[in-house]
């Protein structure tokens, strides 16, 4: 008898819990907290963004906030994409560090972002297999054994469906091989397909979206029945939730600098009340999650180890000092590597993008990071011969001040006169061993900085504007002038991969750029 009395509180508690969990959500008001991040891009440690006086972010601090906020009410922790690619902390491990972090933080679900495809489908499948949470992508067709369209979570009897959609622009912003065999449907099409099914099994529908804030607003206006859109892709700092129709839209900026908090009161499947804000994340003594801090430091130490890795040998000094005033062997080597990677006829890159040389001897990963420290990627655009001449003229127009626009080239050679006035310095140009034809089109590779007008190069943008189908389909170029565009692979990684294969390099200045007087 005494033994049974001792068990009575436990029995009563069990009965109460059973009632709570078995009672349908109907007629009960349930509080649900949604914590969300987006576009982490591997920015694990605090950093000082351009224009900021202080360091912001630090995922260990963000994790500390998650822990505190999770204790207060039933919570879902969601990631709206672009988590595994970007900063070296993620890139050097092809996102394995990011997934380990998200497992440690116990994320409930993630949608793929466009950059999740940047390491290729095989790597993405590995990352998905490592994840202890579902990775969603309802509008991605053809990705076998990996992406789920949705997941349904039970929060104290409230059935919450989380469905993921990613931007259909993904194929245009990554290497074609990364998305081979895949089809990216319009997000609204995927939602219209799944929503009827979700409505039968869930009280509340959350769209975990990586399509950008503008597209989130359009989606909310077009597709009824969505309770919340947790967004990403546009790196929007939505300080408070927005509302379009009956849909709440949120987004938490970027790079672990903010944690989104959305509190919902849900009754009979309807959101009766809500409030939301962004917790700004920055280093603050005592606020870190210790386990996450250890993980961050562990991978940071591995970054240093990878940076020290030997990848090749320079048989002679590689000149990074004179890249703004003349052809150098390092400029030639880099331009040759980029031409091969892009499959282009020629390359024109700015000498100013080459920030260091490499002495004869061992080449490490860190050396290449010093040579190419900027997060630039490779593009290739069709230029006419006339436009190539304009580009080269611009490149040699700042000789006197050693301007960064001085070109390093591959696949073409040219002569110029320093004495001639700027704009009329370039004399003979050969491409592929033949005299340049001003009316012929050539595929010219460059970096995104120059393609966007960096260092004053206008010709790449002008070439795109002149494309016959430039304004076709909402202003998106469909490839008439754009030949190569790998926004997910930095130039330094292209070079590192080349050196790992090649092992030894011994480039010589071979007279591509000749000053004649």
Contact residue for another protein among 28, 106, 235, 277 (CB under 8 A): 235
Q: Does 513 bind another protein (CB under 8 A)?
A: no
Q: Which stretch binds another protein (CB under 8 A): 9-17, 306-314, 390-398, 473-481?
A: 473-481
3-state secondary structure of 363: strand
> 103, 150, 154: which is closest to 129 by C-alpha?
103
Query: Closer CB to another protein, residue 55 or residue 237?
Result: 237
Least spacing, CB of residue 212 vs another protein, in Å: 5
Q: Does 91 bind another protein (CB under 8 A)?
A: no
Is the distance from CB of 303 to CB of 92 less than 8 angstroms?
yes
From CA 457, how far away is CA 450, in angstroms rounded?
A: 6
Task: Return the half-sphere exposure (C-beta side, CA atoms, 13 A cut-off) of residue 157.
Answer: 19
Least spacing, CB of residue 282 vs another protein, in Å: 15
For the chain, state the CA radius of gyration.
27
Binding mask 110-129 for another protein (x = CB under 8 A): ----x---------------
Contact residue for another protein among 178, 236, 387, 413 (CB under 8 A): 236
Query: Closer CB to another protein, residue 76 or residue 450?
Result: 450
Contact residue for another protein among 369, 449, 490, 498 (CB under 8 A): 449
Q: For residue 216, give Cα distances in angstroms to 95, 107, 315.
A: 26, 22, 54
Least spacing, CB of residue 251 vs another protein, in Å: 8
> 397, 390, 487: which is closest to 447 by C-alpha?
487
From CA 461, how far away is CA 181, in angstroms rounded?
A: 30
Q: Does 255 bind another protein (CB under 8 A)?
A: yes
Q: Does 41 bind another protein (CB under 8 A)?
A: yes
Site for another protein in 348-387 (CB under 8 A): 379
Least spacing, CB of residue 474 vs another protein, in Å: 4
From CA 286, how far away is CA 399, in angstroms rounded?
A: 53
Q: φ and ψ at 217, to 5 degrees?
A: -65, -40
Site for another protein in 148-207 (CB under 8 A): 167, 169, 172-174
From CA 160, how far away is CA 151, in angstroms rounded?
A: 8
Contact residue for another protein among 119, 143, 213, 442 (CB under 8 A): 213
Q: Does 468 bind another protein (CB under 8 A)?
A: no
3-state secondary structure of 383: strand
Q: Which stretch binds another protein (CB under 8 A): 29-37, 148-156, 288-296, 451-459?
A: 451-459
Strand 426-431 to strand 434-435: parallel, antiparallel, or no bridges (unpaired)? Answer: antiparallel
Query: Closer CB to another protein, residue 207 or residue 513?
Result: 207
Least spacing, CB of residue 175 vs another protein, in Å: 11
Q: φ and ψ at 173, to 5 degrees?
A: -120, 15
Contact residue for another protein among 14, 16, 301, 452 (CB under 8 A): 452
Length of the chain, in residues: 517
| Helix locations, 71-151, DSSP H | 88-91, 96-105, 121-130
Q: Which stretch binds another protein (CB under 8 A): 148-156, 310-318, 408-416, 469-477?
A: 469-477
Q: Which stretch binds another protein (CB under 8 A): 8-16, 70-78, 120-128, 470-478?
A: 470-478
Q: Does 453 bind another protein (CB under 8 A)?
A: yes
Query: Closer CB to another protein, residue 435 or residue 479?
Result: 479
From CA 12, how far away is CA 77, in angstroms rounded?
A: 31
Query: Closer CB to another protein, residue 39 or residue 367?
Result: 39
Least spacing, CB of residue 169 vs another protein, in Å: 6
Query: Closer CB to another protein, residue 39 or residue 289?
Result: 39
From CA 440, how far away is CA 438, in angstroms rounded?
A: 6
From CA 54, how far away is CA 391, in angstroms rounded?
A: 39
| DSSP state letter for 112 | P
From CA 111, how far away is CA 78, in angstroms rounded?
A: 9
Binding mask 478-507 for another protein (x = CB under 8 A): ----x--x-x--------------------
3-state secondary structure of 85: coil
Contact residue for another protein among 50, 181, 421, 433 (CB under 8 A): 50
- Helix 290-307, helix 59-70: angle, nearest 10: 160
Least spacing, CB of residue 19 vs another protein, in Å: 44
E strand residue ranges, 315-463: 346-350, 361-364, 377-384, 407-410, 412-416, 426-431, 434-435, 441-447
Query: Closer CB to another protein, residue 454 or residue 507?
Result: 454
Which residues contact another protein by CB under 8 A?
39, 41, 49-51, 86, 114, 167, 169, 172-174, 212-215, 233-239, 242, 253-255, 379, 448-449, 451-454, 461, 464-465, 470-471, 474-477, 482, 485, 487
């Amino acid at each position: 008898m005494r033994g049974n009395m001792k068990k009575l509180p436990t029995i009563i508690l069990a009965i109460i819990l059973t009632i709570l969990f078995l009672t349908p959500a109907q007629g009960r008001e349930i509080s649900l907290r949604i914590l969300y991040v987006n576009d982490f891009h591997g920015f694990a440690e605090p950093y000082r963004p351009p224009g900021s006086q202080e360091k912001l972010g630090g995922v260990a601090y963000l994790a500390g906030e998650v822990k505190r906020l999770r204790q207060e009410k039933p919570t879902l922790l969601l990631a709206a994409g672009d988590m595994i690619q970007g900063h070296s902390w993620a890139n050097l491990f092809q996102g394995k560090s990011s997934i380990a972090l998200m497992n440690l933080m116990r994320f409930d679900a993630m949608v793929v972002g466009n950059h999740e495809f940047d390491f290729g489908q095989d790597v993405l499948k590995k990352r998905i297999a490592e994840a202890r949470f579902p990775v969603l992508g309802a509008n991605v067709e053809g990705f076998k054994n990996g992406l789920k369209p949705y997941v349904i979570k039970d929060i104290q009897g409230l059935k919450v469906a989380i469905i993921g959609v990613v931007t259909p622009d993904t194929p245009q912003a990554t290497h074609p091989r990364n998305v081979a065999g895949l089809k990216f449907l319009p997000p609204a099409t995927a939602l219209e397909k799944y929503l009827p099914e979700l409505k039968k099994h869930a009280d509340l529908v959350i769209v975990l979206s990586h399509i950008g804030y503008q597209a989130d607003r359009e989606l909310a206006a077009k597709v009824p029945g969505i309770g919340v859109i947790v967004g990403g892709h546009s790196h929007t700092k939505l300080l408070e939730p927005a509302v379009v129709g009956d849909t709440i839209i949120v987004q938490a900026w970027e790079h672990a600098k903010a944690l989104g908090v959305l509190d919902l009161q849900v009754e009979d499947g309807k959101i009766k009340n809500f409030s939301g804000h962004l917790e700004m994340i920055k280093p603050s003594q005592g606020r870190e999650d210790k386990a996450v801090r250890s993980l961050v430091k562990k991978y940071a130490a591995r970054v240093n180890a990878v940076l020290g890795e030997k990848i090749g040998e320079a048989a002679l000094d590689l000149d990074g000092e004179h890249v703004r005033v003349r052809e150098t062997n390092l400029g030639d080597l880099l331009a040759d590597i980029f031409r091969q990677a892009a499959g282009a006829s020629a390359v024109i890159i700015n000498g100013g993008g080459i920030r260091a040389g490499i002495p004869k001897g061992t080449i490490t990963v860190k050396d290449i990071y010093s040579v190419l420290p900027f997060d630039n990627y490779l593009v290739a655009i069709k230029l006419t011969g006339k436009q190539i001449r304009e580009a080269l003229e611009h490149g040699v127009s700042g000789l006197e001040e050693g301007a960064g626009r001085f070109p390093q080239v591959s696949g073409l050679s040219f002569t110029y006169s320093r004495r001639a006035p700027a704009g009329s310095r370039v004399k003979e140009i050969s491409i592929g061993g033949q005299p340049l034809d001003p009316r012929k089109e050539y595929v010219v590779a460059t970096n995104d900085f120059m393609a966007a007008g960096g260092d004053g190069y206008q010709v790449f943008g002008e070439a795109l504007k002149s494309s016959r189908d430039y304004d076709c389909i909402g202003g998106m170029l469909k490839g008439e002038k754009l030949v190569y565009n790998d926004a997910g692979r930095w130039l330094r990684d292209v070079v590192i991969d080349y050196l790992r294969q090649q092992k030894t390099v011994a480039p010589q200045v071979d007279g591509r750029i000749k000053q004649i007087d």
